[in-house]
Amino acid sequence: MSDTADKNWWRGAVIYQIYPRSYLDTNGDGIGDLPGIIDKLDYIAALGVDGIWISPFFTSPMADFGYDVADFCDVDPVFGTLDDFDRLIAKAHGLGLKVVIDQIYSHTSDQHAWFTASRADRSNAQADWYVWADPKPDGSPPTNWQSFFYGPAWTWDARRGQYYMHNFLPEQPDLNLWNPDVRAAILDTLRFWLDRGVDGVRLDAISHCLHDRDMRDNPPKPVQNPRKPGDMQDQIRTVGLPETAGLMTEIRSVLDEYPGRFAVGEIGGEDPLGQAVTYADPDTTLQTAYNFSFLFRKPLDPALIRDTIEDGLNRHPKGWPTQVFSNHDAVRAPSRWGDASSAFAIQLNALLLSLRGSVCLYQGEELGLPQADIPFEKLVDPEAIKNWPRTLGRDGARTPMPWVPDEEYAGFSAQEPWLPVDARHGPLSVALQEKDKASVLHWTRRLLTLRKAEPALKLGDIRFLDTDAPLLVFERINGDDHLVCAFNLAATRTPLPADITGDMLLGRINTRPARTLEPHGWAILRR
């Protein structure tokens, strides 16, 4: 069991996200596994992060690559065994790393035993464990609700003679979390993993957990160039219902049975921050909410950062966000914001690690990996295939981690991987960057060391200074300790104003000409 003396360890922590299918393959099947993560825990600890978040590794038919769970309390054989997970926990804790895992409570796989029972007939003990509804008189679906991926959120099931709801793929039926028995079963799942020693959970799609019980249609939403039908609806009947806060309170009550454990919620929908005010109160519900504001918006400019952070402070002053620039669902930040240079990748990590809140650092972000280019015939993501070429972010962000440059699959596997290795990633491999003290990897380690050493960066308040674009400047304040963080968000030189002074802690600043930030230059100073 991990040391839980500091109940608020998560506040300001940096969590390294691992997508296990793509981290390291140890058994030669082309798919990463839990032993691969164990093998690389020393590398992760040496980065200077506080913990790891492992994306789903549970029993699954892999229609959505693990986010369609067929058994919440077991490991899929492709990833290993429960014994492997226990070894992972033990080694991580021995290295001082916390372990956070995904939990998917809004839906299951259609191959879960619960769904098999529920679809059998309308009178069995689990008949009401999923969202079932009769068709309209003309046989059409009960509502106009659309799935997040594509097409209607309803699929006909002949055995029940009813439709079942799915916010995502048809293979991912939605649980009926209005049913107290379902909630109890989900909370037992949470206890199962807490008993095994996990330090926290990331709650996937948690704002999708409840649906409108009156089965009212979603109103239309005017939108230009929609990617899929769901974009044309204001999904107020299916996402972000206020009553979801009650479920968050129940989850928090279980977490509080285990000192030092926490939850971060993936809160989406039309107004994620508004939902976070209700769902993510560090005192009563989820300790922190996953900030979507930077994942899908561009361009990167001072207004995006300042407006987002200040909006959060104004609307949710008690909140503690978790900041992210990249993850397994979004185009990698260097490509999304249009610059694959190492200078830009270093600046992005410096900015991310200087913001107020906790941080999730996605695997490969410490290397500055750009989005991988996946040809259509190599795509495996059902959303990307269905909506090609409009939504290619998921496969391109999930390709294998490059460990060495001179092997066919960059040291990830001895066999052809489940997704191809981008040719641009080998030269950015860990082995090559280890040898280069000016690499993104070494700069990321310096930044993580600084953040851990400076309470103002980890826990302090944030205050933005009035400067003209492309300059972004803010202070991090902890008592009498004031740090100034300055970033040139342009690809041209930018003078640093004369009143921005202090002792250099870390940065990439040019003093010739005097006090000029180079393209994508930055500095962290102590006042």
Query: What are the pLDDT digits (tens) for 195-232?
Result: 999 999 999 999 999 999 999 999 999 988 888 888 89
Tens of pLDDT, residue by residue over 458-503, are 999 999 999 999 999 999 999 999 999 999 999 999 989 888 989 9
CB-CB contact of 488 with 471 (8 Å): yes
In this prediction, residue 83 has a pLDDT band, given cuts at 50, 70 and 90, of very high
CB-CB contact of 367 with 441 (8 Å): yes
The answer to whether residues 339 and 417 belong to one domain is yes
Q: What is the pLDDT of residue 298?
A: 85
Containing domain of residue 66, as a range? 14-107+180-449
Give a yes or no: residue 385 inside a domain. yes
Tens of pLDDT, residue by residue over 113-171, are 999 999 999 999 999 999 999 999 999 999 999 998 889 999 999 999 999 999 999 99
The answer to whether residues 366 and 403 belong to one domain is yes
Measured CA to CA, the distance from residue 123 to residue 36 in angstroms comes to 45
Q: What is the pLDDT of residue 512?
A: 58
The answer to whether residues 203 and 317 belong to one domain is yes
Say which residue the tokens 């799935």 belong to.
147
Q: What is the pLDDT of residue 449?
A: 98
The answer to whether residues 322 and 444 belong to one domain is yes
The answer to whether residues 430 and 506 belong to one domain is no
Mean pLDDT of 179-193: 98
Q: What is the pLDDT of residue 87?
A: 98
Q: What is the pLDDT of residue 508?
A: 82
What tokens were used for 101?
């895992």
Q: How many domains does the chain have?
A: 2
Mean pLDDT of 13-31: 98
Burial of 503 (0-12, 13-18, 19+ CB in 10 A): exposed
Give a yes or no: residue 113 inside a domain. no
CB-CB contact of 40 with 18 (8 Å): no
Domain boundary among 424, 449, 474: 449
Q: What is the pLDDT of residue 276?
A: 87
Give a yes or no: residue 137 inside a domain. no
User: Residue 511 pLDDT > 70, yes or no?
Assistant: no
Least confident of 125-129, 186-190, 506-510: 506-510
Mean pLDDT of 316-345: 95
Q: What is the pLDDT of residue 224?
A: 86
Give a yes or no: residue 147 inside a domain. no
Tens of pLDDT, residue by residue over 403-425, are 999 899 999 999 999 999 999 99
Closest CA to 20 of 29, 7, 9, 31: 31
CA 15 to chain centre: 10
Q: What is the pLDDT of residue 316?
A: 93
Measured CA to CA, the distance from residue 458 to residue 220 in angstroms comes to 42
Measured CA to CA, the distance from residue 506 to residue 221 in angstroms comes to 46
Domain at 469, CATH number? 2.60.40.1180
The answer to whether residues 227 and 364 belong to one domain is yes
From the list 83, 257, 311, 434, the catalytic residue is 257
Write out the E strands in 250-380: 262-265, 288-290, 321-323, 358-362
In this prediction, residue 514 has a pLDDT band, given cuts at 50, 70 and 90, of low
From the list 204, 366, 381, 454, the catalytic residue is 204
Cα-flanking dihedrals φ and ψ of residue 138, to 5°?
-90, 5
Measured CA to CA, the distance from residue 189 to residue 103 in angstroms comes to 9
Give a yes or no: residue 406 inside a domain. yes
Domain boundary among 416, 449, 482: 449
Q: What is the pLDDT of residue 2?
A: 43
The answer to whether residues 230 and 273 belong to one domain is yes
Q: What is the pLDDT of residue 171?
A: 98
Catalytic site residue 64? no
Domain at 319, CATH number? 3.20.20.80
The answer to whether residues 444 and 466 belong to one domain is no
pLDDT winner (highest mean) among 272-276, 436-440, 498-502, 507-511: 436-440
Catalytic site residue 381? no
Give a yes or no: residue 126 inside a domain. no
The answer to whether residues 365 and 465 belong to one domain is no
Measured CA to CA, the distance from residue 11 to residue 18 in angstroms comes to 20
The answer to whether residues 385 and 250 belong to one domain is yes
The answer to whether residues 395 and 479 belong to one domain is no
Give a yes or no: residue 3 inside a domain. no
Closest CA to 6 of 195, 199, 202, 196: 199
User: Residue 513 pLDDT > 90, yes or no?
Assistant: no
The answer to whether residues 388 and 477 belong to one domain is no
Give a yes or no: residue 336 inside a domain. yes
The helix/strand/coil state of 248 is helix
Least confident of 99-113, 253-267, 379-393, 458-472: 379-393
Domain boundary among 410, 429, 449: 449
Closest CA to 24 of 36, 16, 38: 36
Query: pLDDT above 70 covers what percent of the chain?
Result: 98
In this prediction, residue 4 has a pLDDT band, given cuts at 50, 70 and 90, of very low
